[in-house]
């Protein structure tokens, strides 16, 4: 069973001395995440917001007990950074970096898989578990509150939009995972659905998809065939997207007849998953399904 946060996530920030690394190290510390180390090759001995900097993830693991990494390294160097985290035996690696070549992503996802390491992303806002006060990501934490709804999503700001609706409706969240907007990502909806199934705190699941690929269709089939035990509601972005045009996310492209919003909505609806027409309808759907 794959997990994103173990019982005691100790985070190393790769690329901690860059602007994004610094900014989000501070935000994660403020939220309550245990950020125990950072890395930037050649900058060992420095500190960022009181966090010691090392050259490699292996040093951060040995000296500070880091077991989870978050990567802010620019795309050209990110694959090497991820491989560094894999060889240092991190349990979870959150890859924030966008625009990583697909060939490199195929390679590091495969290597991580073979070692049982979870890759979140690339091109993800990360993951946040409000009840644990743990955030390994870049999301604005004020829209989240602790509760029992799990969110799994391919999009960042759309997740914040829906989380903020849920929070205002007093439907807090147990764990929110951005699987990433790239064509090649380490997690699929099904793996995260399994995590939610095993997590006692999660009582309902919100699945946020978008055009491109068939991940939502596969999730729908899984929900139906496995008789998924928890209520799932969904939102799919891109009903108005024409074929063949890439919509910002490298993964958001309809190829021929594959990847349309209609195909995803139909598959989910047939699997008994209600699909909201608008982000603002999600909270009410969750409430109905939870009968609260």
Partner 1 sequence: MKLFEFEAKQILRKCGLATPRGGVASSPGEAVAIAKELGTPVVLKAQILVAGRGKAGGIKFADDAEAAGKVAAGLIGTSIKGCRVDKLLVEEKLDISEQFYASVTIDRQARRYVALASADGGVDIEQVAAESSAAIARHRIDPSAGFSQSEAEWLVERIPKISQHMLKSVREKKVDRYLKTDVSAFGSVLAALFCLATEYDAELVEINPLAKVASGEFVAADARIILDDNALFRHPEFSDRGLSRADDSPREAEARRQDLTYVDLSGDIGIVGNGAGLVMATMDLIRLHGGEPANFLDIGGGAQAEVINKGLTLVMSKPEVKAVLVNVLGGITRCDEVARGVIEALNGTGTKKPIAVRMMGTNEKEGTAMLQQAGVTVYADMETAANEIMRLKERQAA
Stretch 69-88 residues interacting with partner 1 (CB under 8 A) = 75-76
Task: State yes or no: residue 101 binds partner 1 (CB under 8 A).
Answer: yes
Tokens for 148, please give them.
Answer: 């029992």
Catalytic annotation present for 249: yes
The least CB distance from residue 146 to partner 1, in Å, is 19
Q: Where are the alpha helices (DSSP H) in 92-155?
A: 102-114
Q: Where are the alpha helices (DSSP H) in the chain?
A: 19-31, 57-64, 78-87, 102-114, 156-168, 189-198, 215-225, 261-270, 282-290
Stretch 249-278 residues interacting with partner 1 (CB under 8 A) = 249-252, 256-257, 261, 277-278
Q: 213, 232, 254, 260: which one contacts partner 1 (CB under 8 A)?
A: 213
Q: Please choose, from the candidates 128, 148, 158, the residue with its C-alpha nearest in 3D space to the C-alpha of residue 276.
A: 158
Task: State yes or no: residue 159 binds partner 1 (CB under 8 A).
Answer: yes
Task: State yes or no: residue 139 binds partner 1 (CB under 8 A).
Answer: yes
Q: Residue 200, by phi and psi: left (phi above 0), alpha (psi -120 to 50) or beta?
A: alpha
For residues 60 and 95, which CB has a smaller minimum distance to partner 1 in the complex? 95
Dihedral (Cα; 172, 176, 181, 185), 10-degree rounding? -160
Query: What are the φ/ψ torsions at residue 255 (nearest 5 degrees)?
Result: -105, 110
Residues designated catalytic: 249
List contacts with partner 1 (CB under 8 A).
23, 75-76, 99-103, 105-107, 109-111, 114, 138-140, 142-143, 153-161, 164, 181, 183-185, 188, 208, 210-211, 213-215, 218, 235, 237-242, 245-252, 256-257, 261, 277-280
């Amino acid at each position: 069973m794959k997990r994103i946060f173990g019982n005691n996530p100790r985070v190393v920030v790769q690329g901690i001395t860059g602007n994004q690394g610094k900014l989000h190290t501070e935000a994660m510390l403020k939220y309550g995440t245990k950020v125990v180390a950072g890395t930037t090759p050649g900058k060992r001995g420095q500190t960022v917001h009181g966090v010691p900097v090392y050259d490699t993830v292996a040093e951060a693991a040995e000296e500070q007990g880091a077991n989870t990494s978050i990567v802010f390294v620019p795309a050209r160097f990110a694959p090497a950074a991820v491989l560094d985290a894999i060889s240092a035996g991190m349990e979870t690696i959150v890859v924030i970096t966008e625009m990583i070549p697909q060939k490199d992503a195929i390679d590091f996802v495969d290597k991580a898989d073979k070692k049982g390491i979870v890759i979140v992303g690339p091109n993800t806002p990360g993951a946040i578990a409000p009840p644990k006060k743990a955030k390994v990501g870049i999301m604005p934490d004020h829209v989240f509150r602790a509760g029992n709804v799990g969110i799994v999503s391919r999009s960042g700001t759309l997740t914040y939009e829906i989380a903020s609706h849920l929070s205002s409706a007093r439907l807090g969240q147990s764990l929110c995972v951005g699987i990433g907007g790239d064509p090649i990502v380490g997690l699929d909806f099904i793996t995260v659905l399994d995590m939610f199934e095993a997590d006692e705190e999660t009582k309902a699941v919100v699945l946020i998809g978008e055009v491109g690929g068939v991940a939502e269709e596969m999730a729908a089939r899984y929900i139906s065939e496995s008789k998924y035990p928890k209520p799932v509601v969904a939102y799919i972005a891109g009903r108005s997207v024409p074929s063949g045009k890439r919509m910002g996310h490298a993964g958001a492209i309809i190829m021929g007849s594959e990847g349309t919003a209609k195909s995803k909505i139909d598959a989910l609806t047939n699997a008994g998953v209600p699909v909201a027409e608008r982000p603002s309808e999600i909270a009410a759907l969750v409430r109905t399904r939870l009968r609260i």
